[in-house]
Structure 1
């Protein structure tokens, strides 16, 4: 391929716009949600289906040849069912298999072994029946409990909408201490056990954490609608009246507003073309 043709193809290349680029729907989303999105979709997950080799170079022990280390991730598919279950980062691997030395290879799918189990959350105080893998059970035991496993694992390694929702509910419950209201000692014990997981997040981060992109857009639309909703003028006048009374009380003036009301009524009567006729009728009667 010639140099001019390469330059022409480079000029024709148009970068695909991202979700948060100017002109896109997610442009107005706050930084708190972008932080969660980076943890969920941008950050690289830990390898599950292969063991990465350390270093940049490796030597063949037989030939002594030095070759670069190539840690190429295995392509993994995550079906919709995995978003409603807890697969522990595992997915479906598509590849090929030779079932006989002289036979052609055939396409094959490696699917993790699934089982139904019950997980218990101490923070939420709930038992949930859910489909899991053996790796999920091992990770729960390794982290000494379901809550520790969910709160300690980044969203990119959970690889499940259900697990991310669990994490969101746990963080919000910890932040608001919304658990064990009937037992204050138990509430304080559970809070002290898991409170360190709140340190990386601010109040705004917790508000936006765990939402899907469309849920975040709906939340943003509701907030903008509430901010742009017209407010009655009586609220503004009431606030100005309270502020005026506070200023008078601070200066030592009397708090009576009868004079102001009389001046206002006389000023309005001048603008009202029927004000004089109404007064005449009242005097005749």
Structure 2
């Protein structure tokens, strides 16, 4: 009986894990954006600063004690500057360093990636761009045979750059709409056939919401809601009344002009008509 009551208590206090997408305002975002946001912010990126071990157990060579292998990921910090370039998933790593175990205590230390300015080229966008990159970024571009393959293959959590995910969004939009090399049909088909397989995992709605930060997504949600929201009937009735009054005014002005023209014509004819009743007959002497 005690075990049953304990199970009920655990079920009662098993609260749902908080999710930023469950907020009153963010929960209205479409599933397409939630899919991107989970890939971007809520997915553990591929290891960059450490090599995970595949084995589950290890033996201490000195004591012979067997213990489980602990793969603790080193999660770097991404400053605002990282979103203005392509760092290839690298970031700032903070930790402790000890120069001499005997005489010096551990002190905080930061490891920064080596940054350089370079020119990158997108075949889909047919555009050269100058931006800040790292050696890892250059190696990833070379290993994937170009910037386009690198960005289209990588998840948002591995790109870790707003510039990178927005470039990926532009590439997907250009492929989906076939808006590339419009002045060269042959090159257009070649480039499209080369990268069209990347569209399999995305729908039109996924591409429209891909690469937007939270502020941009909420603004897009508000604008879309205003565009499709029904207008009050009073606006429709007001417009109909205004159109009716305008038409009545036009008809009235047209009728008045016609009457004036007919009156003027009659008066002109009466002056030149000798048999008109208004013409005075000559007096006899």
State the TM-score, normalizing by the size of structure 1: 0.74
Deviation at 1:207, TM superposition (A): 1.1
Cα gap change, 1:35/1:75 in structure 2, threshold over 3 Å: closer, same or farther?
A: closer
1:39 is aligned to 2:39: yes
Q: Give the 4+ runs in structure 1 shifted more than 6 A.
A: 11-16
Which residue does the alignment assign to 2:56? 56
Which residue does the alignment assign to 1:200? 201
C-alpha distance in 2 between matches for 1:126 and 1:172: 15
Cα gap change, 1:65/1:17 in structure 2, threshold over 3 Å: closer, same or farther?
A: closer
User: Is the 1:33–1:209 contact (alpha carbons within 8 Å) kept by the matching residues of 2?
Assistant: yes
C-alpha distance in 2 between matches for 1:191 and 1:62: 59
User: Is the 1:55–1:69 contact (alpha carbons within 8 Å) kept by the matching residues of 2?
Assistant: yes
State the TM-score, normalizing by the size of structure 2: 0.74
Deviation at 1:106, TM superposition (A): 2.0
Between 91-100 and 176-185, report the one with greater CA deviation.
Answer: 91-100
CA-based RMSD of the aligned residues comes to: 2.7
Unaligned runs of 5+ in 1: 1-10, 238-281
Deviation at 1:182, TM superposition (A): 0.5
C-alpha distance in 2 between matches for 1:61 and 1:193: 52
Deviation at 1:227, TM superposition (A): 1.2
Flag the structure with larger Rg.
Answer: 2
User: Is the 1:19–1:25 contact (alpha carbons within 8 Å) kept by the matching residues of 2?
Assistant: no
Instruction: Please list the CA deviations of residues 29-76 of structure 1 after superposition, one character each: whole Å capped at 9, or x if unmatched.
Output: 111111111111112110100000103212345554321010011231
Which residue does the alignment assign to 1:210? 211
Aligned residue pair count: 228
Which residue does the alignment assign to 1:87? 87
Find the residue that maps to 2:110 and give its secondary structure.
strand
Which residue does the alignment assign to 1:166? 167
Which residue does the alignment assign to 1:178? 179
Alignment of 1:117-196 (within 5 A): 117-196=118-197
Instruction: Please list the CA deviations of residues 193-235 of structure 1 after superposition, one character each: whole Å capped at 9, or x if unmatched.
Output: 000010001111111111111111111111111111528749x
Unaligned runs of 5+ in 2: 1-11, 241-258, 264-285
C-alpha distance in 2 between matches for 1:79 and 1:151: 23
